[in-house]
A and B are shown apart, each in its own frame.
Chain A
């Protein structure tokens, strides 16, 4: 996505130009997912080079301008090349989020019919995918609270929530979800809530191999299933009672 040149040399023109890029960056692979046509890459080549080099410095330097500058140098660019990233350190956080989300389809394999006779349920796949994504935070987990603080800044909140929604969508899709009604929304909303709560928990989890985080995740998923089950039962009851009443009235001769 080419950044547009300012239409005038005025301050307003420059502000408009810089504000165009976050909007352009928001429109990632949101739309029709084609299997035949190639998807556009999530980052431009220069951005991608700088950010991928910077990510390797995050464990030592955190999500800071320092890491970005070192990354720019590693990639063979000048220090000022970090101006290519108008959102600064948020672009670094975003890069991590996007790349880990896109890596899910390659890194997570499910046991197929060949071995045990039947493939795992969607619930088990959701658990596996969410855990995989959480474990992908391990290299930078000691810096993750910083990243959360960056994401919580008001100007970056929409983009962060957008990324969270895309992650939830990716996980459900890879788990084999085929819902196309309002449950599409409720499933993704509940998974987003579970994932973000678990991610925050993970930042202060000191257990070996993050077993406490796994238990926390299992507890949250169970809660979500219980609530979903209850709401489904209530709506099923209402549906059934309504139809029964209608049919009884029709049998009595009421012309409805």
Chain B
């Protein structure tokens, strides 16, 4: 039985909620893993906004015309966005590769799964493209272990697929649970910033769009989780072992990609 666990980091970083709609937002993910959003920990986000520093040079011609806000992102905020988007890109790379590797063995034995696998693969591909765009646009360094994640994700997808349909679905369930919780935590942190910035009228389109897109992506990942459970992921024979190993691996990969 899937234990409803969110990474402890998310609890450490959770902030107090004031507006009504973020609460509804967190009620939307209906799976058991997210039933524990009633756990409130009240550690406030540590980013303090500095006094706005007037730029000393006239703004150079930017390829994307945005309205300039005099606020400067703090180091922590910049760091958070940098590592968050790097991890997201690595995660979507892994997801695309898992589905790509799972599809041939799975579809050979269970042809009726072809449309589902194609649908999930295409959605992940869309997410991957989106994060690639963001990384290129915002000059974020991609993960240095790209080839390692490439090999690991392909091996994981292929391995679980030859183990059988249930194992493949259990792998999807484990990965999507971790990823869903991970995106949820990011949305939480960003909503906290957005609340503070909106109060000062400094919330730009960039952050706003990012939050919306992250929510959409999180919802799609959780939809994949539901599909996996519907397709008998819990009947996988070494269910606990498989899920725990995969979830542990995902958490380690997330932690490594944040820095590297």
> Footprint of B on A, CB under 8 Å?
27, 30-41, 45, 48, 102, 105-106, 169, 173, 177-182, 184-185, 250, 255-256
Check: B68 CB closer than 8 A to any chain A CB: yes
What 5 A-B pairs are tightest by C-beta distance, nearest first?
A36-B204, A31-B78, A32-B81, A31-B82, A33-B139
Given contacts A32-B140, A181-B142, A184-B141, contact A37 B204 (CB under 8 A): yes
Apart from A41-B55, A255-B162, 6 more pairs, CB < 8 Å: A32-B73, A33-B139, A33-B140, A37-B69, A182-B144, A250-B104
A105 touching B53, Cβ below 8 Å: no
Closest to B141 in A: A184
Closest to B80 in A: A32
Q: Which of B130-138, B212-220, B243-251 contacts A (4 or more CB under 8 A)?
A: B130-138
Given contacts A35-B62, A37-B71, contact A181 B105 (CB under 8 A): no
User: How far is A36 from B108 in the complex, measured between Cα atoms in Å?
Assistant: 49
Given contacts A180-B142, A185-B144, A256-B105, contact A36 B132 (CB under 8 A): no
A105 touching B60, Cβ below 8 Å: yes
Residues of B close to A184: CB separation below 8 A:
141-142
User: How far is A179 from B136 in the complex, measured between Cα atoms in Å?
Assistant: 7
Partner of A40, one of B53, B67, B138, B204: B53
User: How far is A37 from B138 in the complex, measured between Cα atoms in Å?
Assistant: 12
A37 touching B81, Cβ below 8 Å: no
| Chain A nearest Cβ from B184, distance in angstroms | 21
Closest to B70 in A: A38
Check: B206 CB closer than 8 A to any chain A CB: yes
* Pairs across A and B, CB under 8 Å, 20 listed: A31-B78, A32-B140, A33-B140, A34-B78, A36-B67, A36-B204, A36-B206, A37-B69, A38-B52, A38-B59, A38-B69, A41-B53, A102-B57, A169-B139, A178-B132, A179-B136, A180-B132, A181-B142, A182-B144, A255-B108
Closest to B81 in A: A32
Given contacts A31-B79, A256-B162, contact A36 B56 (CB under 8 A): no
B73 touching A180, Cβ below 8 Å: no
Residues of B close to A33: CB separation below 8 A:
138-140
| Chain A nearest Cβ from B71, distance in angstroms | 6
B206 touching A34, Cβ below 8 Å: yes
B64 touching A35, Cβ below 8 Å: yes
A106 touching B60, Cβ below 8 Å: yes
Check: B146 CB closer than 8 A to any chain A CB: yes
A38 touching B78, Cβ below 8 Å: no
B79 touching A180, Cβ below 8 Å: no
| Chain A nearest Cβ from B206, distance in angstroms | 5
B105 touching A255, Cβ below 8 Å: yes
Closest to B206 in A: A36
Closest to A177 in B: B136
| Chain A nearest Cβ from B183, distance in angstroms | 18
Residues of A close to B64: CB separation below 8 A:
35
Closest to A179 in B: B136
B75 touching A37, Cβ below 8 Å: no
Residues of A close to B53: CB separation below 8 A:
38, 40-41
User: How far is A82 from B29 in the complex, measured between Cα atoms in Å?
Assistant: 58
B146 touching A182, Cβ below 8 Å: yes
| Chain A nearest Cβ from B92, distance in angstroms | 11
Within 8 A of A (CB), among B51-105: 52-53, 55-57, 59-62, 64, 66-73, 75, 78-79, 81-82, 85, 89, 104-105
Check: B205 CB closer than 8 A to any chain A CB: yes
Given contacts A36-B67, A39-B72, A250-B104, contact A48 B142 (CB under 8 A): no
Given contacts A105-B60, A106-B60, A182-B147, contact A35 B55 (CB under 8 A): no
Given contacts A38-B69, A38-B70, contact A31 B204 (CB under 8 A): no
Residues of A close to B139: CB separation below 8 A:
32-33, 169, 173
User: How far is A31 from B52 in the complex, measured between Cα atoms in Å?
Assistant: 18
| Chain B nearest Cβ from A183, distance in angstroms | 9
| Chain A nearest Cβ from B57, distance in angstroms | 8
| Chain B nearest Cβ from A96, distance in angstroms | 16
A36 touching B72, Cβ below 8 Å: no
Within 8 A of A (CB), among B145-181: 146-147, 158, 162
